[in-house]
Amino acid sequence: MTATLVAYRWELRKLAAQNRTYLGIAIAAVGPIVYLMLAIAQGYPHAPLADNFGHTGIAFSLVVFKLIVVIGPAIIASLVAGDIVAAEDLGGTLKTILIRSVRRGQLLAAKALALYTYLAIAMVVFFVVATVAGVIAWGFNPVVNISGHQLTALDALLLGAASVLVYLLPVFALASFGLFLSVATRQSVAAVGGTLLYAMSLQGLAVISAIKAVHPYLLTNQLTAWHDLFQTPVTGGAILRSLWVSAAFALPPLIAAWVIFTRRDVTT
């Protein structure tokens, strides 16, 4: 565990030194501002909680969560997930790392933790920027939830922060597949593109009526599980389903990445 944490610290330092890392953060920060300007200029979108636009800015970040659903988190996740291992192969630095006193499984675990930390930071930046922009535009006022009940601004803000945690569950699962591709392909471009294609394919399955019975168990549909927090009463069923479905989608690629990485013959 100590070796994993040490490797995790160094992985964070490497991420902090890469321009691609800040590109994802910039997308997370600029995205809400673009949506805010579009909402003001072209009218408010039809989405859960969007009726609060013009009355309060607390719900703005959550409406944007709904609008970006798949493509937003897929882009942010793929930028780092697809590069975090493949870049070592491309740069020829993997062999140098592996001669240190850290096992391959510990190194991969550290990279996965660094990836998840990056995604959490990106989503927090997104939430903070969107909330501040929304409040500046429409004020810090009560929110009418999806069920039509009014929440105080503070309660809605706290529920919004909890929604970020729920939203991160499927995002982590998407990133896990990107990590697998980064290990398996050894190519950053292939891993980034493959992660985006994977997310879009899952979204495509979500609109096929012939498999409607499995729609609730598709990974991309878990990106709206936070809706449970803004319904009265709060049942938590969708959140619980999101937890185990996200885990079911995340574990196989993580295990596959571990098997490939620990058995790889590193010659360069």
Comparing 84-88, 181-185, 246-250, 264-268, the range with the smallest average pLDDT is 264-268
Per-residue pLDDT tens over the stretch 26-81: 888 888 888 778 777 777 667 778 888 888 889 888 888 776 666 777 787 887 88
**pTM of the shown model:** 0.89
Residue 33: inside a domain, yes or no? Answer: yes
Domain count, the chain: 1
Domain limits for position 33:
2-263
Residue 104: inside a domain, yes or no? Answer: yes
What is the average pLDDT across 185-194? 86
SS3 84: coil
Residue 193: inside a domain, yes or no? Answer: yes
- Whole-angstrom CA distances from 122 to 21, 72, 119, 153 are 10, 11, 5, 24
Per-residue pLDDT tens over the stretch 224-255: 899 999 998 888 899 999 999 999 999 999 99
Residue 56: inside a domain, yes or no? Answer: yes
Residue 231: inside a domain, yes or no? Answer: yes
Residue 62: inside a domain, yes or no? Answer: yes
Residue 189: inside a domain, yes or no? Answer: yes
Residue 268: inside a domain, yes or no? Answer: no
- Residues with Cβ < 8 Å from 90, sequence gap 6 or more? 186, 187, 188
